[in-house]
């Protein structure tokens, strides 16, 4: 599968590969994180979230990993499909503080068949 250690604006993979999208968050006080998928011309779609008391959370074909030590978040997509092609954003905020989400830089995932 394709993986990157640092945030890259684009990621190209073959159908069936595993994809890893990385995100560095900014605020060490943030304790709630969400990954969104945004298709062209549409609003962000919720994929998966994780709280800071967890290191890993799994959904359907997706896994989010959180490393609080280095303020790093990753989204793993298993068996990537053409329909996964989109821009992926991570977002952070501070639980219970009433603050809004702050979005990171997006990564454009392109899946070729």
Partner 1 sequence: EAEVAQSPRYKITEKSQAVAFWCDPISGHATLYWYRQILGQGPELLVQFQDESVVDDSQLPKDRFSAERLKGVDSTLKIQPAELGDSAMYLCASSKHGSGNTIYFGEGSWLTVV
Residue 43 CB, nearest distance to partner 1 (Å)?
4
Tokens matching residue 13? 């993979």
Q: Which of 80, 89, 109, 111 binds partner 1 (CB under 8 A)?
A: 89
Residue 43: other Cβ atoms inside 10 A: 7
Q: Using alpha carbons, select from 46, 45, 67, 47 the residue that is nearest to residue 58.
A: 47
Among 20, 65, 78, 102, binds partner 1 (CB under 8 A): 102
How many residues belong to the site for partner 1 (CB under 8 A)?
A: 27
* Structural contact between residues 13 and 111, judged by C-beta atoms closer than 8 angstroms: yes
**Residue 53 in the binding site for partner 1 (CB under 8 A):** no
Provide the binding-site residues for partner 1, judged by CB under 8 A: 32, 34, 36, 41-46, 49, 51, 89, 91, 93-106
């Amino acid at each position: 599968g394709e993986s990157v250690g640092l945030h890259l604006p684009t990621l190209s993979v073959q159908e069936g590969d595993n994809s890893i999208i990385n995100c560095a968050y900014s605020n060490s006080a943030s304790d709630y994180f969400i990954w969104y998928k945004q298709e062209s011309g549409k609003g962000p779609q919720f994929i998966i979230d994780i709280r800071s008391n967890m290191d890993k959370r799994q959904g359907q074909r997706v896994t989010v990993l959180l490393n609080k030590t280095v303020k790093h978040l990753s989204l793993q997509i298993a068996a990537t499909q053409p329909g996964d092609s989109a821009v992926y954003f991570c977002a952070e905020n501070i639980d219970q503080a009433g603050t809004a989400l702050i979005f990171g830089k997006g990564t454009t995932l392109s899946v070729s068949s």
